[in-house]
Amino acid sequence: MIIDAHGHVHDPVGLHLDALDAAGVDRTVLFPTRPHPERAGDLPSLRREFAVLDGALGGRGGTREAFAGALDEVTAAVAAHPDRFVGFGSVPLELPAEEVERAVAEDVVGRGLCGIGELTPAPGRADRLEPVLKAAADHGGLPVVVHGFAPTTADDLRTLAALSRRHPGVPLVVSQLGGLHWMEAVELVRDTPGMYLELSTAFLVIAVRLAVRELPERTLFGSDAPYGDPVVARVMVERATASGEIRDRVLGGTAAEVFRLPRRAPGTRAPVSP
């Protein structure tokens, strides 16, 4: 089964399904989102969507009420297409620890979602994930996905590794290959057994190739759609790997384990050649 480990709700959802079909992807991990760049028809409208994104990545607007609409979108998409989407829910990291724990219980577990993410701590504040990891452990080790590209810093990646070592029962996925700090991300994930590295937004094929070589059982194919494209992301993985067991793990086998999904899809989708 081919699993895209990083996607965001599209408006309309059919745009996303078409992209997944074109890439031969069976299922995708679907994160809620407040910005919708796929709605933009010109540069000014795209700037407006990216202003919302900048606020989210800067840790602003963090209330449960602000997140509610995005959670409703992901819940509706999963309900409409349970065979294609694996729903995750995000929580505001600026809340007191007890409120974060309540948000995980009510807004993630209470909605029947499968994990927590994509979390976007403000730069330099990756330590705010500690209450989330505690709550994830309390709910059976829910997987947690955290934004890895800018403005995430190298210090944030080191903080995430330290947190993962304190909560070894919680799979912690760093997305976007750690962004500009991808070499350090590979080293940290390699040396921290509870961490995984998702490969979307990679700008160098050599970075993907090295990450898979160092972490053959802890790297995940992802597209970060709509910012990325599932076809392009899959082709990059296939160009960076040889066919066989390792490629199969990166394209879906490891994600099936981390996100507790069946390894085989009910149908067969079109292959994508590198």
Whole-number percent of the chain with pLDDT over 90? 81
Would you place residue 267 in the very low, low, confident or very high pLDDT band (cuts 50, 70, 90)? very low
pTM above 0.85, yes or no: yes
Confidence of residue 111 (pLDDT cuts 50, 70, 90): very high
Mean pLDDT for the stretch of residues 37-48? 92
Rounded average pLDDT over 126-139: 96
DSSP conformation letters of 10-62: -SSHHHHHHHHHHHT--EEEEE--S--GGG--SHHHHHHHHHHHHHHHTT-S-
| Residues 2 and 269: beta-carbon distance below 8 Å | yes
Q: What is the mean pLDDT of residues 121-149?
A: 95
Task: Please answer whether residues 240 and 22 qualify as being in contact, where contact means their C-beta atoms are separated by less than 8 angstroms.
Answer: no
For residue range 52-78, what is the model confidence (pLDDT) as tens digits?
Answer: 888 777 766 567 777 888 999 999 999
233 pLDDT tier (thresholds 50, 70, 90): very high
How far apart are the C-alpha atoms of 249 and 267, rounded to whole Å?
19
Task: Supply the pLDDT for residue 181.
Answer: 95
Q: So what's the pLDDT on residue 263?
A: 61
pLDDT above 60: residue 161: yes
Measured between alpha carbons, how far is 215 from 211 in angstroms, rounded to an integer? 6
Q: Quick check: 216 and 184 in contact, CB under 8 A?
A: no
Residue 105: which residues within 8 A CB-CB, separation 6 or more? Answer: 135, 139
pLDDT of residue 203: 87
Task: Note the pLDDT of residue 266.
Answer: 46
Q: Which 3 state secondary structure label does DSSP give 156?
A: helix
Q: Which residues contact 236 (CB under 8 A, 6 or more apart)?
A: 199, 202, 205, 208
The mean pLDDT value for 131-159 works out to 96
Sequence-distant (6+) residues with CB within 8 A of 262 are 1, 256
67-68-73-77 Cα dihedral, nearest 10 degrees: 100
Identify the residue whose tokens are 């972490």.
215
Q: Residue 136 and residue 207: Cα distance in Å, rounded? A: 30
Strands (E), the chain: 3-8, 27-31, 85-89, 115-119, 144-146, 172-174, 195-198, 219-220
If one counts every other C-beta atom within 10 angstroms of the C-beta of residue 132, the result is: 29
